Amino acid sequence: MHPEGSELVVCTDGAMTLVQEIGGEEVRTELRAGEYAINDAGVWHTADVRKRATALFVTAGMGMQIRAG
């Protein structure tokens, strides 16, 4: 989770699922090569890769928090 700013996630090859926790609910967004999504500031998130993917993450890293789990 990045409290200081949003994060851009661009899938450049393969496929991945962006998993976000929004309003207490899990929201899953499928990304294929050339597609992108935004993790808004303060939103807990992770990425799920089933086979293979390459992605670019542009992150506001200040204050980044990690949840054990």
pLDDT in tens, 19-61: 999 999 999 999 999 999 999 999 999 999 999 999 999 987 7
**CB of 2 within 8 A of CB of 45?**
no
pTM: 0.83
Contact 20, 44 (CB under 8 A): yes
pLDDT at 69: 63
User: Which of 36, 37, 43 shows the shortest CA–CA distance to 4?
Assistant: 43
As a whole number of angstroms, the distance between CA 52 and CA 13 comes to: 8
Give the model's confidence band at 65: pLDDT under 50 very low, under 70 low, under 90 confident, else very high: confident
